[in-house]
Structure 1
Amino acid sequence: MSSKRNSLGALALLSALMGFASISTDLYLPALPAMAQVLGAGAGEMEWTISGFLIGFSLGQLVWGPLSDRYGRRGPVAAGLVIFALGSGGCALATSAGQIVVWRVVQAVGACAAVVLSRAMVRDLYEGEKSAQMMSTLMTVMAVAPLLGPLVGAQILAFASWRAIFWALVAVALVTLAALTVLPETFPRDRRAKESLGAAFRGYGPLLRDRRILGFAAAVSCFYVGVFAYLAGAPFAYISYYGVPPGWFGLLFGAAILAIMIANMLNVRLAPVYGSARLLRAGGLVAGAAGLALAFAGFSGAGGLAGLVAPLLVFNGASGLIVANALAGALAQRPERAGSVSALVGALHYGSGILGSGLVGAFADGTPRPMSLMVAAAGVGTALCAWTLVHPAQD
């Protein structure tokens, strides 16, 4: 019984760590229009607060990965949570959009330690298709964070200012840091890299030349272009363009998370039967079709708000077949470098999100068109990468 409780506790904590990327953005999404008004900033400037986060998140992972392969997982995760709390406090005290962008970079450097190393912890503990199953299970559990994030953010906004949202993130980081003390180290000393950190960083070279890893990384990177185009554009498309109240935005956003949870639960059952690579390719086709449908609705106005929501639900749901399988597939290629592989893949796919959110911000015109176009391009790109670069034999 004690072992089962410990297992459930570890599952809950790993889910919380993996959810830091989501809560860092999802909680304050409903506040973006209000923040723009208070700070005297335009929609494009506020969308850059997402791009700034992605810059810190993608580059920070490249540091945490080798550190964890050399010194273990727990210490770097704890340091990351402290940095995240500092960045969140800085956002709460900011007086301009530019300051928030800077503090979002700091916040992201801390958040990425929790995310990238929780994935490495899964690979430390599980192998093969079991790793893909556990990754999907964790993503299903941690999906509660983005499901509740916009709803909680909207409620905080109803009773306090947007600054309270960032103070809430400080509290989350401190509680998680306290909980980390009960999680045992998953990467024992005898398995850690013996090379210097300099050599570890140079080790990214061979990983970048490994076509097996890059195939999985390319597919998930294309998908994340669309994910972050959606995150940057949806608040303004829903709230500003279609007049959806911030509270209702949380419900629409939550529906997309439910779609992801359902797909992840399906993936848990299908992964042992069909393998990660085959399910990734199927997810790519779903994402591509949904993206094209969204582009048609975004440019033609067909279906109004529902015309946007329906294909976005399908596109986001495809995440359940794409992300866990791509991560598990890449990690399986070099299990002895799980921290560095997780960091590299994470840096590539979150770095690609800079393109999605940045272009949506750069071409913001008050309509859903920039978001729709980027999501469509991302969906088609995901399908092409999954079917040309990833092969079932790589499971």
Structure 2
Amino acid sequence: MTTGFPLPMAAIAALALLSAVAPLATDMYLPAFPVMAEQLGASAAGIQVTLTAFLAGLAGGQLLIGPLSDRFGRRKPLLAGTALAIVSGLFCAFAADVGHLVVWRFLQGLGGAAGVVLARAVIADRARSAIEAARLFQVMMIIGGLAPVLAPSVGAGVVALAGWRAVFVVLAVLSTVSLVGVLRCIDESLPAERRARGGVPALLRTMGQVLANRSYLGYVLMSGFIFMVLFGYISASPFVFQSILGLSPAAYSLAFGANAIGIAVVSAISARWLGRVPPQRLVAIGIGTCLLASLLVLLCVLTGAGPALMLPCVFLAICPVGMTLGNASALAISQAPGATGSASALLGAMQFLLGAVASPLVGLGGKDTAVPMALTMAVSSMLAVLCFALLAHRGSRRAEVAAAA
């Protein structure tokens, strides 16, 4: 199928699936934690370590694979990482104890990092402008950006039907499908003449230069704080919506699904607006809406408002994620045209690092209060606005002035 993009739709779908597998692998097995602890003879803390190990592999893998892809190209690291994710996922499914599961989860994260970081890099390589890259990222958000929101519900269904081990089999199958998609649809996007030269010291210097870009750093931090809003909501919503707001499991699923659809719809709207509205303005609209709605969520919690007020405010806080992350990713990576892999790696690592921080924060007050969730969303969105205003936007203005001088 042909599109107006520099990539066919099949390739875009393959890249979206690649970037979606890691968020799915993060959250799909969360509903099975109690059963896993019982069957593996482990403590709750021990099972939690398997998630920490995966996130460590995911963050570290991006920081490793991104710069290496600038040196050796995108396709080979992508194939190798996806193959590692498949094999380690199958070993997770057959792990006999929590110790082995921790090891295989780390390797699963390490391999899955290739899809996350290199999907963005391939798009940046092929896009002919920052606006085109932003439009591609928005299309990917429609296809693959729903993964972290839908993962717990999908995982609960898989666990109920076939047990927790089936979750890892499903993840291995999805990784296999994405591997086939890479083989069939995605060619090498970084020709030899555009690759970085030198060894490890040169790669480290490149990453330092990327981080020294004020505008790039602003977009990276802003994206990370928006991830905190999203992951804080995902982690706390089962308790907040059901235990505090009194929703039934069916009503909770509907509310959760409505927010997921909202993200996709806003992503589609943003993709259509690009070209008429600058991506910087779309980011500003997105994070501004997120901040205002998050403050309303906090006000609802502090005043004891019911679901009729609370749920629309949460919806308005979560939907702008669809407008913000794709555009911010394109704007960040466009600041480092000669080091796309490194720029994508640092961006992804920061997103998942701050997203992982949100999960324990929203649980600090226990399951009978929504204050930690509301505070996490409000403070994170406020920090996102500050990073955009003081670093990303101001850094871009300074660069424009310097270029004109």
Q: Same fold (TM over 0.5)?
A: yes
Query: Paired residue for 2:125?
Result: 124
How far apart, CA to CA, are the structure 2 residues paired with 1:86 and 1:128? Answer: 36
Q: Of 238, 257, 274, which aligns to 1:254? A: 257
More moved, 145-154 vs 253-262: 145-154
Task: In structure 2, give the amino acid aligned to 1:7.
Answer: P
Matched residue, 1:288: 291
Hey, what does 2:188 align to over in structure 1? 185
2:165 aligned with 1:163? yes
- Cα contact 2:222–2:388 (8 A) shared by 1: yes
- The TM-score normalised by the length of structure 2 is 0.86
| Secondary structure in 2 matching 1:336 | coil
Structure 2 counterpart of 1:69: 70
Q: Which runs of 5+ in 2 are unaligned?
A: 401-405
CA deviation map 1:178-226 (0-9, x unaligned): 2321121111112111222332133211111111211111211111122
Cα distance in 1, alignment partners of residues 378 and 103 from structure 2: 30
**What is the CA–CA distance in structure 1 between the aligned matches of 2:28 and 2:79, rounded to whole Å?**
22
SS at match of 2:339: helix
Aligned residue pairs, count: 394
Q: Residue 216 of structure 2 aligns with which residue? A: 213
Helix, strand or coil at the partner of 1:216? helix
CA distance in 1, matches of 2:52, 2:317: 21
Structure 1 residue matching 2:187: 3-state secondary structure: coil
Aligned mates of 1:46, 1:235 — CA distance in 2: 19
Q: What residue identity is the alignment partner of 2:163?
A: S
Q: Taking structure 1 as reference, are residues 29 and 318 closer, same or farther at Cα in structure 2, changes over 3 Å only?
A: farther
Go from structure 1 to structure 2 and tell me whether the alpha carbon gap of 1:373 and 1:191 turns closer, same or farther (over 3 Å shift): same
Contact 1:29 1:235 in 2 (8 A): no
Letter in 2 for 1:374: T
Matching residue's letter, 2:225: C
CA contact (8 A) 1:277 1:390 kept: no
- CA deviation after TM superposition for structure 1 residue 364, in Å: 3.7
2:61 matched residue in structure 1? 60
1:320 aligns with 2:318: no
TM-score (norm 1): 0.87
Deviation at 1:86, TM superposition (A): 3.7
8 Å contact 1:267–1:321 — kept in the other structure? yes
1:352 paired to 2:354: yes
172-181 or 108-117, larger mean C-alpha shift: 172-181
- Whole-angstrom CA distance in 2 between matches of 1:383 and 1:2: 37
Please give the alpha-carbon distance, in whole angstroms, between the structure 2 residues aligned to 1:302 and 1:41.
39
Is 1:20 matched up with 2:59? no
1: CA distance, partners of 2:332 / 2:152: 31
Task: Report deviation, 1:366.
Answer: 4.3
Partner Cα distance (1:179, 1:340) in 2: 24
More displaced 10-residue stretch of structure 1: 231-240 or 113-122 = 231-240
Question: Is contact 1:276-1:325 (8 Å) kept?
Answer: yes
- Measured at CA, do residues 96 and 314 of structure 1 come closer, stay the same or move farther in structure 2, by a change above 3 Å? farther
After TM superposition, give the deviation of residue 52 of structure 1 in Å.
4.3
C-alpha separation between the residues in 2 aligned to 1:205 and 1:270?
34
1:154–1:250 Cα contact (<8 Å) kept:
no
Indicate the residue corresponding to 2:8 in structure 1.
Answer: 7
1:120-143 residue CA offsets vs partner (Å, 9 max, x unmatched): 000111022111111101111224
Q: How many percent of aligned residue pairs carry the same amino acid?
A: 34
Deviation at 1:63, TM superposition (A): 0.3
Letter of the structure 2 residue corresponding to residue 383 of structure 1: V
Q: What is the letter of the counterpart of residue 16 of structure 1?
A: L
Q: Which amino acid aligns with 2:200?
A: L
Do 2:214 and 2:392's aligned partners in 1 also have CA atoms closer than 8 Å? no
Distance 1:161 1:80 in 2: 27
Q: Is the 8 A contact 1:51 1:353 kept in 2?
A: no
The answer (yes or no) to whether the contact 2:88–2:108 under 8 Å persists in 1 is: yes
Q: What is the letter of the counterpart of residue 131 of structure 2?
A: E
Task: Check 1:310–1:57 CA distance in 2 against 1; reply closer, same or farther (3 A cut).
Answer: farther
Q: Which moved more, 1:84-93 or 1:257-266?
A: 84-93
Give CA-to-partner distance per residue, 1:302-343, whole Å, 9 cap, x none: 114x55533332222111221111111111111121111111
Shift of 1:245: 6.1
Q: Quick one: distance in 1 between partners of 2:299 and 2:38? A: 31
Pairing partner for 2:271 from 265, 268, 271 = 268
Long gaps (5+) in structure 1: none
Counterpart CA distance in 2 for 1:42 and 1:279 is 45
User: What is the match of residue 386 of structure 1?
Assistant: 388
Provide closer, same or farther for how the CA distance between residues 277 and 43 of structure 1 changes in structure 2, counting only shifts above 3 A: farther
With 112-121 and 344-353 compared, the bigger mean Cα shift is at 344-353
Distance 1:232 1:7 in 2: 35
Whether the 8 Å contact between 2:124 and 2:333 is mirrored in structure 1 is yes
- What is the identity, as a one-letter code, of the residue corresponding to 2:224? S
Equivalent position to 2:198, from 185, 195, 219: 195
| Amino acid in the other structure paired with 2:81 | G
Q: Which moved more, 1:250-259 or 1:341-350?
A: 250-259
Structure 1 288/53 Cα, relative in aligned 2: closer, same or farther at 3 Å? farther
- Larger mean Cα displacement after TM superposition, 355-364 or 193-202: 355-364
CA-CA distance at 1:240 after TM superposition? 5.6
Q: Deviations over 1:4-37 (max 9, x none)?
A: 9981221211111121233223433444565567
